[in-house]
Structure formats: C-alpha cells, structure tokens
C-alpha cells in the first residue's frame, strides 16, 4: 500500500530544524559573561590618560598633538552610538558585537606600534567606534533574553561609567611605556572577543530570529540624537585644536546640556523620566566621580 507523502505545514517549513531554542541557558550564560567583559572595555576607552605618562613620551614626538589625538575616542563614540542603534534595527546583533570587539582588538594590537600623533588618533577613533558599537549591541542582545540579563547589563553599564577613570588609570601604575594607554587591557579584549565568537556560534545554532521592523518614531529619535552628538563631537575637537577661551567653553557646555534636556523631552512619556536621570548622571555624577578617582 502506497504511503502518501507527509506534507509539512508552511509554518514548520519556514521555521526549519534550527529555529528551536537549543540550550537557552548556555546562550544566556555566554551573553552574561560577554556583557561583563565588553561593557567595561567600551567605557574605559573614554578617558584621555596620556598626560599621566607624559614623562615617558619620546622627545621627538608632538606631545600636544598626541594628547589631542588621544582624546578622539570620545567624539568617535558619541557619533557611533546613535548610528549603531539605528543600524541594529536592520543588522544582526551578533555581527555587530563581533565587529565592535574586532575593532577594539585591532586597535589594541596596533597600539604597541604607534609612533606618531596621527597613528594614535586613528587608533583612538577605532577604539571609539568599537565602543560605540558595543554599547547598543549588548543592550539589544540583552533585551531579547530573560530579565536578569537586562539587569546585568544595566548594572555593568552603571558600574563601568562610575569607575571609568579608575579603570583607565589602574594599568598605568609603574609602567615603562606610554603605549599602555592605547592597550590597557589586551587580555580582557581577547577574552571578550572569544566570548563574542562563542555567542555568534550559539546564535547560528539557535537559528536566525526575525529582525523587528523599525518603527518610524524610534528611527527618527535615534537619528535626531546623532545631531547633538555630532555637534558636541565637533566642539570637543575644536576646543582642543583652537584653544578656546574657558568662558566660551562653559557657554557651549551649557548649550549642550540644554540640547540633551530638549532631546530627552521629546521622547515617550514612560521613558522621559529615565532620560532626564541619564542627563543628570552624565552632567553631575560622572565628572564628580572622575575627579575623585583621579589618583
């Protein structure tokens, strides 16, 4: 007797054998370890610490230019974060995570060979872009997982921001080369990159998830955030290059804070309070803690 062929339902055919969640606890554990390793690496790229090792700089290098170039990580990160957040609406988060950590790894590896202000500037921009990719990418990855992963992301971001200055200064104690400022934690970068590769493999085994369609309002807000970020980045570079008067810098800083508050005000009602809190933290708490930990 002939057996009729079994017809798979369209949903089953679309899902495929890899769409089932395999070992979700393992994926969560790897992602948690990745968050613990990657977020401090991203935030520690912000402080400009080359002045601490100024005595170790060679005599034939442009010290002022080097210090200015070393500060390019923050403007690069400011620009990268909102643009990466927009890109993550269409790109796979695993790809962005690996890409961001790969940039940090390349910048760390090349940091040992930096010998000019120009090369230092290039490497610091790579650090800033890599960090700018990691912050929103880890958030998106955590958002799709259980609540404890999101809580871990929030806690690690807060701890990394508060201790950024201390983390950046810690490797400089007793160093003999100024290039350590370009590669403060190379081993941790390698560990984070290995964890990202493991997360990527688990993501492949688990099967691709449907990318959520970007909502117009969300995309517009993220792109709008790039405007003040670009202005602040431009001002940060200009003040370093042109030696602006301190009074003018204070005025521009006040305008930047007003722009951030205005941007927070146009968000959704449920997120507006937290946006104000983040502006207050960035304006008051983080600079204060940075001065306290400046040892």
Domain annotation for the chain: domains and CATH numbers: 23-214 (1.20.1250.20)
Greatest extent of the chain over all pairs of C-alpha atoms, in Å:
93
Q: From the centroid of its chain, how far is CA 195?
A: 16
**Which of 68, 41, 50 has the alpha carbon at shortest distance from 131?**
41
In the three-class reduction of DSSP (H, G, I as helix; E, B as strand; rest coil), residue 1 is classed as: coil
Which ranges constitute the DSSP H helices of the chain? 10-15, 24-43, 63-70, 73-87, 93-111, 117-143, 147-162, 164-169, 186-206, 216-242, 246-265, 269-280, 286-292
Instruction: Report how far residue 182's alpha carbon sits from residue 104's, in angstroms, rounded to the nearest whole number.
Output: 10
What does the block give as tokens for 227? 């405007």
SS3 (DSSP) at 209: coil
Q: Residue 26 corresponds to which tokens in the numbers above?
A: 């393992």
- Can you say whether residue 55 is alpha, beta or left, with left for phi > 0 and alpha for psi between -120 and 50 degrees? alpha
Q: Which of 55, 28, 262, 242 is nearest to 152 (CA)?
A: 28
Low-confidence ranges of the chain (pLDDT < 70): 1-23, 207-226, 228-229, 235-243, 267-271, 286-287, 289-295
Q: Are 153 and 139 in contact (CB under 8 A)?
A: yes
């Amino acid at each position: 007797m002939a057996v009729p062929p079994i017809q798979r339902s369209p949903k089953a055919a679309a899902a495929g054998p890899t769409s089932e969640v395999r070992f979700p606890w393992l994926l969560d554990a790897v992602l948690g370890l990745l968050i613990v390793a990657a977020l401090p690496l991203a935030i520690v790229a912000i402080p400009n610490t080359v002045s601490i090792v100024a005595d170790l700089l060679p005599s034939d290098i442009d010290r002022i230019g080097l210090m200015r170039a070393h500060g390019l990580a923050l403007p690069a990160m400011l620009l990268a974060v909102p643009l990466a957040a927009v890109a993550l609406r269409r790109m796979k988060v695993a790809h962005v995570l690996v890409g961001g950590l790969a940039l940090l790894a390349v910048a760390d590896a090349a940091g040992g060979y930096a010998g000019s202000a120009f090369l230092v500037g290039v490497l610091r921009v790579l650090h800033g872009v890599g960090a700018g990719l990691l912050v929103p990418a880890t958030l998106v990855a955590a958002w799709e997982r259980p609540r404890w992963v999101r809580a871990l992301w929030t806690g690690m971001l807060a701890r990394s921001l508060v201790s950024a200055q201390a983390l950046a200064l810690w490797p400089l104690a007793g160093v003999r080369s100024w290039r350590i400022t370009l590669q403060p934690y190379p081993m941790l970068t390698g560990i984070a990159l290995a964890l990202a590769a493991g997360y990527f493999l688990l993501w492949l085994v688990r099967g691709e998830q449907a990318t959520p369609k970007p909502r117009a309002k969300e995309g517009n807000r993220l792109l709008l955030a790039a405007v003040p970020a670009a202005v602040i980045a431009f001002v940060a570079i200009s003040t370093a290059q042109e030696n602006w008067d301190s009074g003018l810098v204070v005025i521009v800083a006040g305008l930047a804070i007003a722009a951030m508050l205005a941007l927070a005000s146009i968000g959704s009602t449920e997120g507006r309070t937290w946006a104000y809190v983040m502006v207050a933290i960035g304006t008051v708490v983080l600079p204060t803690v940075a001065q306290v930990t400046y040892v």
